[in-house]
Structure 1
Amino acid sequence: MRLTCKEWVLTALLGVTAASALTTLILILVEATDVLLPTDTKFGVVLDAGSSHTSLFVYRWPADKENDTGVVSQALACRVTGPGLSSYASDPAQAGESLEGCLEEALAVIPAAQHQQTPMFLGATAGMRLLSQKNSSQAAAIFAAVTQALGRAPLDFWGAELLPGQDEGAFGWITINYVLGLLVKCSFSGEWIRPPEGTLVGALDLGGASTQITFVPGGPVQDKSTQATFRLYGFEHSVYTHSYPCFGRSEMLNRLLAQLVQRSPSHLVRHPCYHSGYQDTLSLAHLFESPCVQATALPHLPPNLTVEGTGNPRACVSAIRELFNFSSCEGRGDCAFNGVYQPPVLGPFYAFSSFYYTFHFLNLTSGQSLATANTTVWEFCQKTWRQVEEAAAGQDSQLRDYCASGLYILTLLVDGYGFSERTWPSIEFRKQADGTDIGWTLGYMLNLTKMIPAEAPAQWRAQSYGVWVAGVTFVVLTLGAILTAAAALLLWPRD
């Protein structure tokens, strides 16, 4: 059958339409695949070498979303068996060997094909900072043993280093705000926008040897030594941050006991923060080894002492307050304690590490008021040792110290940092945020591996989206034009 001229033109137009549409569709699908389909997952490993123990964390994130918010997730949290690295001063090799169990777990989580491309870091905090201050050669030996052990792993080991206290606080702040999605948001048009700064969360960290406070103040930071500035997702963030060595939970307990020991006129020390009915014999050798403990007039003391609890929260608070120098800040609205500059606390806060563990034990992590927290801790301190043991079924090795820790936290947060009945509700005591353990490790990894790049990925994503939209528009317009032409041909009168 022979086609007429009009039918031939119509057929040719439809053929060109189909070919153009198919070609464009292929290009769109290729571009859309780049934008929409999941890509390879990347991994990172960070070890937190704290004063009381070491933890290993494995993080993962989609490779094509490294500038997005909340894409990093925690794949593994492993607590290393044994004490903190600083406890291996007399046997450095054991410090390295202690990490092998958690390292094996990390290698099992990360695909073998990605081992060599996976960065791994170890950051040591206040425990090792104190050991470095006391005996630098012992600290160096521990770092050498750890470096050797981790260097044998088939990962991209970036080294082990001493993490300054200020960085510890600042990285913890990054972690919380990153996980909560408060640092950046992607708009509908594909552009990165900065959330209102008022939504950012402050960080309160209580470790074994030090404590840190970090937040965005209401005005400029007057003491620049307490200021940290970051460029995150292309936006500048300036925070107040300070770390207090020797004010961590373990060192506070040591300092408190040493203070009572040195004031005791006999071999029996009465401890107001221990529950009535508690009694134990303690060795003094380890107590006075810490650089945080100021030993005076020890010749009259025997190597061992009997410590007896009295369960007196009022006397306990009085003894704890003597660990601070509050008089150095009298009359100053921008001072915490020990003469340290601090602007007034502002905004919501997450309190983690020992802040959380202590208040979790005391059932004070559900938004209770300051008055309720005070009453709860005081009532707990007044319980007898038998009552406390029976309630806990003897399962908690820290049982003896929760009274002192609870009263210390209240003193630190209220008398030290300046929280009040009004601002206390702004504190959330948390272990995790959005399924991720809170601490400095994620912020440390993001900072050192540059996992928080500038806007390049966002620009690429916006361009990709633009190409995709342009392609769809082209197809629609082309089809519309050709179909219009076809309709016109069909309506022509026959010859």
Structure 2
Amino acid sequence: MRNMLFFSGICAVGVTIGAVLFMYNRKMARQQNVALATVVLAVGCVVIVTGYYSMASYNRSKQYGFQGLDNTQLSTDYSRKFVDSSISESINVKIMRNRTKADQFYGIMFDAGSTGSRIHVYKFVKLTANSTPELVDELFEQVKPGLSSYAHEPTKGAESFIPMLENAKKWIPKDKWPTTPLDLKATAGLRLLPGTAADSLLRETRNVLASYPFQLVEDVAAIMGGNDEGIFSWYTVNFLLGKVADIGKSVGVMDLGGGSTQITFLPLAQSTLDKAPKDYFGSVNVFGKKHNLYTHSYLGLGLMSARLEVMGGLPDSPKNEQNKVENTLSSSCLPPNFTGPYTHGNTDYIIKGQGHTHGFDACSFATKNVVKKYKLHVPEEVKSMPFFAISYYRDRAVDAQLVDEEDGGDVKVGDFFNAAQKICSDPHPKEPLLCLDLCYITSLLEGIGFQPSAKITIQKKINRKEISWSLGATFDMLGKSS
């Protein structure tokens, strides 16, 4: 800006000198030459200055380097099935260091999940005014239980975000607070609550978020549609893998949460979309080109919800005057002599084994019955497409020692089957619910259409960045706020 002001001043002085020379030069030829030079100088200055301010205006409209999204908004109404998701098209993730403070900007995304609440604060830098942003660092924290556990204490639930917000203030430079966008998206836990309970929780949460000096997005603290969750997870994984530039080599993503599970991939065969139900696909914009994704969220098939159903429990069990659950749940998936407490949402249970019926066969039968109730759609392409499995898929694979906790790795679907057989045959396992979880994951993967020999990749991070739908959602948020 200072350079342009200096240039404008030079232009003005030049034009003035030209006018003076014209007035006091008596020779006609010289007058004509001076006049011509003065006019050319004036026109050139006008063109350059006008062009500069037009470009400056354009650059301001792309403050973060994200291309604007189309007019289609992502669904925050979980009853909406079809999602037209336009995610920012020009982000390039690299690990960069030693950038100046002036280049930095941030985005805050809260994940209000069924089993816990998490904050992701992403730090981006730009090398020049017109360059694309680069992701350089992330603050990640989580608290338990999830927001849905405070269904009867909405104020207390909202206050659970305060420690994470305080840490975000410490991590983000103070001068960046007013320009840092913040959003909170709730997932399956709140989708399963009655509408009035969910509304109260979200209203109180908005009040807490509004008391902090960040830039709240429109409709902050809302329930995210399950298909949105799947699309964001797919975008995050493929972005971190560097595959969005070569979309034909993208990978599919399966996300196993507490209350729901999603499967999302880019079909290579048109027949996949033709055969899929209409509410089983959405669209995403990648580098200016629209792609149709196969994506669906199965509400109720998250690991925690499935556990409860396998054991015969209901989301809202009757309680006595002491607020204790009167039901005792039992399952053949639990060790035969096991009895212990179990909490789902805001409800406490007593769970126990079933003695002689314990074992892999009985447990597998129970988990398959739960999966069958949901009548999963089986797309043919899952048999040949590479897939990443995240969230509870990864956690239980680590517990079963199928992959390393830090490095992850590739596993076969049959490896879950074999691990389940081994764990379920142990009458005194270290984790009493691991037999149930592994049997359920095996049943779910088979229900989706995976063969025992199919390989899936399990990782927690890619390039030291946490795998979560929140990064894809942050790209979208920054695109809308630019």
Answer whether TM exceeds 0.5 for this pair. yes
Q: Does 1:438 align with 2:481?
A: no
| Residue among 290, 298, 301 paired with 1:244 | 298
How many residues of Structure 1 are paired with residues of Structure 2 in the alignment?
Answer: 361
Question: What does the per-residue CA deviation read over 1:314-372, in whole Å, with 9 as the maximum and x for residues that have no partner?
Answer: 1000011111237xxxxxxxxxx615363431422111110100111101124344444
How do residues 157-176 of structure 1 correspond to structure 2 at under 5 angstroms? 157-158=216-217, 159-176=220-237
Question: What does the per-residue CA deviation read over 1:371-411, in whole Å, with 9 as the maximum and x for residues that have no partner?
Answer: 443222211111122xx23xxxxxxxxx2211111111111
Partner of 1:17: none
| Residue among 169, 187, 201 paired with 2:251 | 201
Residues 319, 70 of structure 1: CA spacing in aligned structure 2 closer, same or farther, 3 A cutoff? farther
The Cα shift of 1:138 comes to 1.4
**AA partner of residue 307 (structure 2):** L
Q: Does 1:356 align with 2:394?
A: yes
Q: Does 1:154 align with 2:213?
A: yes
- In 1: Cα distance, 2:123 partner to 2:443 partner: 38
Partner of 1:379: 422
How do residues 166-315 of structure 1 correspond to structure 2 at under 5 angstroms? 166-184=227-245, 195=246, 197-220=247-270, 221-222=273-274, 223-258=277-312, 271-280=331-340, 307-308=353-354, 311-315=358-362
- In 1: Cα distance, 2:401 partner to 2:188 partner: 28
Q: Is the 8 A contact 1:230 1:238 kept in 2?
A: yes
The Cα shift of 1:177 comes to 0.9
Residues 284, 372 of structure 1: CA spacing in aligned structure 2 closer, same or farther, 3 A cutoff? closer
Partner of 2:433: 401
Partner of 2:23: none
- In 2: Cα distance, 1:103 partner to 1:198 partner: 39
Query: Which structure's relative contact order is higher, taking Cα pairs within 8 Å and 6+ residues apart?
Result: 1
How do residues 5-44 of structure 1 correspond to structure 2 at under 5 angstroms? 40-44=103-107
Residues 418, 282 of structure 1: CA spacing in aligned structure 2 closer, same or farther, 3 A cutoff? closer
Q: Is the 8 A contact 1:446 1:452 kept in 2?
A: no
Q: Is the 8 A contact 1:72 1:179 kept in 2?
A: no
Residues 219, 68 of structure 1: CA spacing in aligned structure 2 closer, same or farther, 3 A cutoff? farther
Partner of 2:201: 142
Q: Is the 8 A contact 2:337 2:353 kept in 1?
A: no
Residues 207, 97 of structure 1: CA spacing in aligned structure 2 closer, same or farther, 3 A cutoff? same
Residues 342, 209 of structure 1: CA spacing in aligned structure 2 closer, same or farther, 3 A cutoff? same
The Cα shift of 1:236 comes to 2.4
Q: Is the 8 A contact 2:187 2:224 kept in 1?
A: yes
- In 2: Cα distance, 1:452 partner to 1:198 partner: 30
Q: Is the 8 A contact 1:70 1:181 kept in 2?
A: no
- In 1: Cα distance, 2:130 partner to 2:465 partner: 18
**AA partner of residue 359 (structure 2):** N
The Cα shift of 1:88 comes to 0.7
The Cα shift of 1:225 comes to 1.9
Q: Which structure has the larger Rg over C-alpha atoms? A: 1
- In 2: Cα distance, 1:167 partner to 1:284 partner: 25
- In 2: Cα distance, 1:348 partner to 1:285 partner: 34
Q: Is the 8 A contact 1:273 1:381 kept in 2?
A: yes
Q: Is the 8 A contact 1:280 1:307 kept in 2?
A: no
Partner of 1:55: 118
Q: Is the 8 A contact 2:253 2:389 kept in 1?
A: yes
- In 1: Cα distance, 2:376 partner to 2:237 partner: 28
Percent sequence identity is 28
**AA partner of residue 314 (structure 1):** D
Aligned-pair Cα RMSD in Å:
3.1
- In 2: Cα distance, 1:67 partner to 1:241 partner: 34
- In 2: Cα distance, 1:286 partner to 1:112 partner: 37
- In 2: Cα distance, 1:269 partner to 1:224 partner: 38
How do residues 331-480 of structure 1 correspond to structure 2 at under 5 angstroms? 338=375, 340=377, 342-345=379-382, 346-365=384-403, 366-385=409-428, 388-389=429-430, 399-414=431-446, 416-422=447-453, 424-425=454-455, 427-450=456-479
State the TM-score, normalized to the length of structure 1.
0.67
Partner of 1:115: 177
- In 1: Cα distance, 2:161 partner to 2:126 partner: 28
Q: Is the 8 A contact 1:45 1:121 kept in 2?
A: yes
The Cα shift of 1:237 comes to 2.4
Partner of 2:28: none
Where does structure 1 lack aligned partners over 5 or more consecutive residues?
Answer: 1-33, 185-194, 290-302, 327-336, 390-398, 454-495
Residues 259, 130 of structure 1: CA spacing in aligned structure 2 closer, same or farther, 3 A cutoff? closer
State the TM-score, normalized to the length of structure 2.
0.69
Residues 174, 285 of structure 1: CA spacing in aligned structure 2 closer, same or farther, 3 A cutoff? closer
Q: Is the 8 A contact 2:119 2:164 kept in 1?
A: yes
**AA partner of residue 373 (structure 1):** F
Q: Is the 8 A contact 2:255 2:261 kept in 1?
A: yes
Where does structure 2 lack aligned partners over 5 or more consecutive residues?
Answer: 1-58, 60-95, 318-326, 404-408
Residues 349, 339 of structure 1: CA spacing in aligned structure 2 closer, same or farther, 3 A cutoff? closer
**AA partner of residue 462 (structure 2):** A
Residues 400, 148 of structure 1: CA spacing in aligned structure 2 closer, same or farther, 3 A cutoff? same
Q: Secondary structure at the match of 2:105?
A: strand
Residues 95, 66 of structure 1: CA spacing in aligned structure 2 closer, same or farther, 3 A cutoff? farther
Q: Secondary structure at the match of 2:237?
A: helix
Partner of 2:163: 101
**AA partner of residue 338 (structure 2):** Y
Q: Secondary structure at the match of 2:189?
A: helix
Q: Secondary structure at the match of 1:108?
A: helix
